[in-house]
Amino acid sequence: MCYAIPGKVIAVTNNIATVDYFGELRRAHVMDGIAQIGDYVYAQGGIVVEKISAADAIPVLEIWREQFFELKKVDARLSSTSTKGNNTIASLIAKAENGGNLNRNDMLAILSAENRTNLEMIYTAANRTRRNRLDNACCVHGIIEFSNHCLNDCLYCGIRAGNKVLKRYRMSSEEIIDAADHAIKLGFRSLVLQSGEDQYYTDAMLAAIVKEIHERHGVLLFVSIGERSKECYRKLYESGAYGALIRFETSNKNIYERMRPGKKLQARLNLIRWLKEIGFILATGFLISLPGQTQDDIINDILLTKSLKPDMYSFGPLIPHLQTPLATIEKPNLSYILKVIALSRLVDPDAKILATTALETLGPDAGAAGLLAGANSLMIDATPSKYRKLYDLYPGKTGTDESVEAMAEKTIKLLRSLGRAPTDLGVLL
């Protein structure tokens, strides 16, 4: 199993490497001068994460050589099946595909589309755009959920402080490092370390964990730990966590402040913008189907995400959890989430868009449907199984009883069937 294809560096200018993958050229940042012309490297999220020897690279390349082109053929076939029509939706899609900007009314029309033909037209156009702009690379991230303690009380979240029936856990530094070792051994090259907002882990503890993983492995590390101080984030970046996953949750200030008691939307956005400014690879986005959220809000959410220039869009459905004040709200339907994915793709054609684990709870094929509606990134839960069920943000998380190996294998199979290479090569030149 392999979540990265080695590439050969053919040029480096101002710390940006041009990396060759069987003739396809991509761009990736070189941190700390780890790679030079002629080196074989692994790149993730637009960053060279590891230099490897030719002796290690060449056998892996041999395995990939045929598959690389075979997968592209499958993807080309699947993404060329387009549904045609000649109504408003068809003309909006044509506008977007011809490089035009969709205005708010256009976006609203797409979000409101309902009949099957219109929906198919929207999804296939988004899938086509994804392939034209980004080809078939699909980044597979592993997520390690290391603590379900949280001092916040977000109304939507199953691990909120107010959930008194949940059994709480904290992984030790050693357990977190072991879980990362295990995931990396399985082939993951991008890992997210996520938790509730848990001050038990001091800045120094978190930095030491990140540093250890970073020193042991060529892996792109994201942290997803909510609102910690700038000082904390700076330390984590310096220790080797170059990515931050932090959603703004909703662009609607009133809803935000109702859903996240004691929290301010502006403070969250200031932090997100600052993280991007200081160089973090940013993954951000929003929740869909918050009480009171309108289609206009969703349009604002997409536009706000785009304006933050994230390296990855991460948005997903709010899945109601029984031990929260939102227990009785309605789950959004799959086609609505697919429309939001497709619309995001049409509005921001070069975006990396995650098909989230919450989306996967909406049906057995929901992850695949997301990938066929414009998404190009996936997340697999790599938390040790004894803790996985307890990280209970929302009910119905897939794979809570499966081993990480089994889930990874299933994902690879799915990606193969869709013609996606389970890898992130960097940005197309």
Binding residues (CB under 6 A) for ligand SF4: these are 150, 152, 154, 157, 159-160, 196-197, 226
Residues facing residue 212 across a β-bridge: none
Edge to edge, the sheet with strand 312-313 lists 312-313, 281-284, 243-245, 220-224, 190-195, 139-147, 377-381, 354-355
User: Which of ligand SF4, ligand SAH, none has residue 404 at its interface (CB below 5 to 8 Å by kind)?
Assistant: none
226 within 8 A of 247, measured Cβ to Cβ: no
Selection from 394, 217, 223, 410 nearest residue 318 by Cα = 394
- Smallest separation (angstroms) from ligand SAH to the CB of 160: 8
Q: 276 vs 416, which CB is nearer to ligand SAH?
A: 276
Query: What are residue 353's phi and psi, to 5 degrees?
Result: -120, 125
- Of ligand SF4, ligand SAH, none, which one does residue 222 interact with (CB within 5 to 8 Å by kind)? none
Give the interface with ligand SAH as residue ranges (CB under 6 A).
156-158, 194, 196-197, 224, 226, 246-247, 249, 287, 316, 318-319, 321, 358, 393-394
Nearer to ligand SAH among residue 337 and residue 393 (C-beta): 393
DSSP string, 75-94: HHHHHH------SHHHHHHH
Asked whether 324 and 158 are in contact (CB, 8 A), the reply is yes
Tokens encoding 22: 């069987």
At closest approach, how far in Å is the CB of 362 from ligand SF4? Answer: 19
Closer of 52 and 161 to ligand SF4 (Cβ): 161
Whichever of 51 and 149 has its CB closer to ligand SAH, that residue is: 149
Partner from ligand SAH, ligand SF4, none contacting 319, C-beta within 5 to 8 A by type: ligand SAH
Q: Judged by CB, which is closer to ligand SF4: 137, or 154?
A: 154
Residues contacting residue 326 through CB under 8 Å, at least 6 positions apart? 155, 156, 291, 318, 320
What token pair was written down for 119?
A: 């929906």
Give me the least distance between CB of 386 and ligand SAH, in Å please: 19
Q: What are 282's strand-pairing partners? A: 244
Instruction: Please identify, using beta-carbon distances, which residue of 73 and 230 lies nearer to ligand SAH.
Output: 230
> Residue 265: which of ligand SF4, ligand SAH, none does it interact with, CB under 5 to 8 A by kind?
none
Q: How far is the CB of 397 from ligand SF4 (least distance, A)?
A: 14
As measured in angstroms, the least distance from the Cβ of 16 to ligand SF4 is 34
Reference 130, options 425, 347, 306; nearest CA is 347
From the list ligand SAH, ligand SF4, none, partner contacted by residue 374 (C-beta under 5 to 8 A by kind) = none
Minimum CB–partner distance for residue 84 and ligand SF4 (Å): 42
Q: Are 223 and 193 in contact (CB under 8 A)?
A: yes
